[in-house]
Amino acid sequence: MLALRRTTDMASSGGCFTQAGLKATLWYGARAEVAGHASFGMKLSGGGAHQSKTMMFCELEALLATGASTPEEFRSAAIDDNAIGKATSNTRRLTFRHIVSLYGLSDQPPLTKALLKIWESDIQGHRLQALLVALARDPLLRETAPVVIAGSVGQSLQWPLFAEAFLAAYPERFSEKMLRSLSQNCASSWTQSGHLKGAFKKIRQRVTPTPPTVAFAALIATASGFGGPSILSSGWMAVLDLTPAQALDALRRAEAIGLARVRSAGDVTEISVRQPMAASLGVPELEHV
């Protein structure tokens, strides 16, 4: 049997975060609306790809490299042309189904449309951009984020820590076998994103987001009900390993390329990403996030 504690408190090296405190305010701000989350492309509850897969970064990157943009083109590239590199047609179909679900490639809500546009011009940001969408669309992966955020650089974060988070959130939901598989899949995704390194012993390392990625995180935070300075302290910035000051600096750099607008007057900071990103990316739906 798994020897797992049912507590999820773990202080970071600086004492700023604990998992219990993080979970309540990580993802949703004071202006959060369920309908808005859904129309933007986020999923608030239920299972997700991580019950059987990881965030599948390599497959996603290969698929998007084909230049496909419509659901039909994605399907043809993945299944007919085997862009995702799977040995059998059944494996291709199963993997494609999970990719479509996780990244919204079929119905393409505003979240997905923004991802596809940012992806084209910011190669260095791909891993963290994929992670942000995976977090937005897989509630189970979100449950493991406090473990990673609270972990200090150099700390060992093995799958049982993720299993503890699931046990705390869903005490009776998963069998031991599923709990282990789910936790290992999530650990793999955090490795793919760059937060962890190591094939077997997972060690926490710091990630460095690009300005477009930070603007993308601010967009998701805005859709999640955060506004003004609260965007900077949201979980969407925390998973990028940014303090509020660092996040603000990155958004100022994103402003220089048309993806954000930042105005400060005294103690008041105004942050806007909806209109700048709608115009720069050519996704008018973002104005209504």
Q: What is the pLDDT of residues 120-155, one digit of tens each?
A: 999 999 999 999 999 999 999 999 999 999 999 999
Domain boundary among 204, 227, 256: 204
Amino acid identity at 197:
K
Residues near 104 by Cβ (< 8 Å), separated by ≥ 6? 41, 111, 112, 133, 137
Which three-class secondary structure state does DSSP give residue 102? helix
My answer on whether 149 and 218 are in the same domain is: no
My answer on whether 80 and 141 are in the same domain is: no
Q: What is the pLDDT of residue 143?
A: 95
My answer on whether 220 and 199 are in the same domain is: no
My answer on whether 57 and 76 are in the same domain is: yes
Tens digit of each residue's pLDDT (9 = 90 or more) over 174-231: 999 999 999 999 999 999 999 999 988 999 999 999 999 999 999 999 999 999 999 9
Res 158 pLDDT > 90: yes
Q: What is the pLDDT of residue 276?
A: 97
The gap from C-alpha 98 to its chain's centroid, in whole angstroms, comes to 16
My answer on whether 194 and 234 are in the same domain is: no
Length of the chain: 289
Q: What is the pLDDT of residue 271?
A: 96
Tens digit of each residue's pLDDT (9 = 90 or more) over 245-281: 999 999 999 999 999 999 988 778 899 999 999 999 9
In a domain? residue 132 = no
My answer on whether 72 and 101 are in the same domain is: yes
Q: What is the pLDDT of residue 250?
A: 98
Amino acid identity at 215:
A
Contact in structure between 68 and 199 (CB atoms under 8 Å): no
My answer on whether 110 and 171 are in the same domain is: no
Among 242, 196, 192, which residue's Cα sits nearest to residue 218? 242
Res 33 pLDDT > 80: no
In a domain? residue 106 = yes
Q: What is the pLDDT of residue 172?
A: 87
Compute and round to an integer the Cα radius of gyration of the chain. Answer: 18
My answer on whether 111 and 153 are in the same domain is: no
> What is the tally of structural domains in the chain?
3
Which three-class secondary structure state does DSSP give residue 43? coil
Q: Give the domain range for residue 46.
A: 34-123
Domain boundary among 70, 93, 123: 123
In a domain? residue 192 = yes
My answer on whether 141 and 192 are in the same domain is: yes
Query: What is d(CA 96, CA 93) in angstroms, rounded to the nearest whole number?
Result: 5
My answer on whether 46 and 70 are in the same domain is: yes
In a domain? residue 1 = no
In a domain? residue 14 = no
Q: What is the pLDDT of residue 26?
A: 86
In a domain? residue 130 = no
My answer on whether 216 and 194 are in the same domain is: no
Tens digit of each residue's pLDDT (9 = 90 or more) over 74-123: 999 999 999 999 999 999 999 999 999 999 999 999 999 999 999 999 99
Query: What is d(CA 134, CA 167) in angstroms, rounded to the nearest whole number?
Result: 21
